[in-house]
Structure 1
Amino acid sequence: MAYYDDFVSWLPPSFLGEDAKTLKAFLKALGRQFDDLEAATDDVRNQFFVPTATWALDQYEAEYAIKLVDGGTYPERRNNVMAKMRGGIGATPAAIMNVLAAYGYQTQIIEDFPNYQFTIKFTDFKGIPSNMGDLKLLLNSMIPAHLKVLYQYLYNVYADFNGKYTYGQMNSSGLTYQDLQTKTP
């Protein structure tokens, strides 16, 4: 009711007495319409920018030929679009790292020229990313077909637990063996 309050403040008090029910009802209705218009305008304005887009993500994905594998949440879909926008400069190691950085992953690229392959090593994330299907689809659209892509993930190893936790602590943590590969109690 922000606009209603504005309208009322613009009128002299004598206009808003006891017998001004019709005027007040009109101003409330008009205020609601302007509030709705402002909300709709803000929503449309948000669609012009990928970090705030919601319903316009379909158009961005169509423009950049992005096919979703896992459906994806709004943040994941925004990351797909922004990564594709960044990745239009070819398949150099820097471009690949830049695209993966858009998803929030720090990586290292290890090139193996004689075998026509390279390895993408995730350096700050343990386990396989939940949106790996989308990442692979995006990277396959960037990388030349004659190059093989290998992925290297980080996991916890015995040395990460040795001397830090007892078997009882690990058992009582409620974590499964698969959970312990990427988390600590």
Structure 2
Amino acid sequence: MADTPDFQFLRNIPVALSRYLPTFLFRDTSFSDTLSTLSHEHEVQRLTLTDAAQQAFVKTATWGLDDWEEFVGLEHESADTLQTRRNKILMKLAGVDSVTVPFLTRLVNLYVADGQAVVIDHPDTYSIEILHHGGQVLDYDGLEDAINTYIPAHIGHTLLTYTKGRLVVYAAGIVRGCKTMRIGMTLQPNNKISPTPLYAAGAIIHQYHKQTIQAGG
């Protein structure tokens, strides 16, 4: 039998008896009203049967959890959520021969939404680490109570949240070359004039006068 059946029974959609009858019958107002009432009552019965069937399974039970707790000998606190009560019943039904890492892993994942929590044992320090993804714990108080109920008193535990992700970093830059020159200086000035050739340049400018002579006969 499946842990979480679909509870569909004969149908999984709201009851509408009109779909099984010819449409001309609904021209009669009295007949149409009667059929609507019957459809409603059939739908109530369908939902009632589904709700009753859900109580036979711990993972879907609601008001039936009282009977489950009485069966396994548990009492619940007023602040316990439905999920917390279900987890306690499931652990009680599973039974515990010895507290091992696989057992604790199953226990912890009853309170973790994605079921991916990991338990790491550290025998040298008498402690365990419980790693889980962030935002996945359904009930921290219930988880703490479950851990404290089953692990020995001399074993410490730490809850660690971690998040997996992929990070890509792109970087760019320009490579530049540079040369550093150090120019030393002395405190005593020392001016020395070295012989230097002198160069001179000039230009000769000629001026011309233009004269025009006219002659006639």
Q: 1:64 to 1:141 in 2, by over 3 A?
A: farther
Give yes or no for contact 2:131–2:161 (8 Å, CA) kept in 1.
no
Alignment partner of 1:10 is 2:20: yes
Between the aligned partners of 1:155 and 1:15, the Cα distance in structure 2 is: 64
Q: 1:29-84 deviations in whole A, cap 9, x for unaligned?
A: 11110000111111112222222222222333333344445723333333333344
Alignment partner of 1:148 is 2:157: no
Tell me which amino acid in the other structure corresponds to 1:64: V
Structure with bigger RCO (C-alpha 8 Å, 6+ apart): 1
Counterpart of 1:106 in structure 2 is: 118
Alignment of 1:102-141 (within 5 A): 102-104=110-112, 105-111=117-123, 118-124=126-132, 131-141=139-149
CA RMSD in angstroms comes to 3.5
Between the aligned partners of 2:80 and 2:19, the Cα distance in structure 1 is: 46
Counterpart of 1:88 in structure 2 is: 96
Query: Any stretches of 5+ residues in structure 2 without a counterpart?
Result: 1-12, 163-217
Match of 2:82 among 65, 74, 77: 74
1:98 shift after superposition: 1.9
Between the aligned partners of 1:10 and 1:83, the Cα distance in structure 2 is: 47
Alignment partner of 1:33 is 2:33: no
1:130 shift after superposition: 7.9
Q: 1:92 to 1:68 in 2, by over 3 A?
A: same
Between the aligned partners of 1:135 and 1:108, the Cα distance in structure 2 is: 16
Between the aligned partners of 1:65 and 1:106, the Cα distance in structure 2 is: 29
Q: Normalising to structure 2: TM-score of the pair?
A: 0.52
Give yes or no for contact 2:55–2:64 (8 Å, CA) kept in 1.
yes
SS in 1 for 2:123: strand
Between the aligned partners of 2:45 and 2:151, the Cα distance in structure 1 is: 45
1:133 shift after superposition: 4.2
Between the aligned partners of 1:138 and 1:63, the Cα distance in structure 2 is: 19
Tell me which amino acid in the other structure corresponds to 2:68: Y
- Higher normalized helix content (fraction of residues): 1
* Structure 1 runs of 4+ with >6 Å offset: none
Between the aligned partners of 2:95 and 2:126, the Cα distance in structure 1 is: 17
Between the aligned partners of 2:20 and 2:160, the Cα distance in structure 1 is: 64
Q: Normalising to structure 1: TM-score of the pair?
A: 0.59
Between the aligned partners of 1:95 and 1:107, the Cα distance in structure 2 is: 10
Give yes or no for contact 1:121–1:153 (8 Å, CA) kept in 2.
yes
Quick check: which has more Rg, 1 or 2?
2
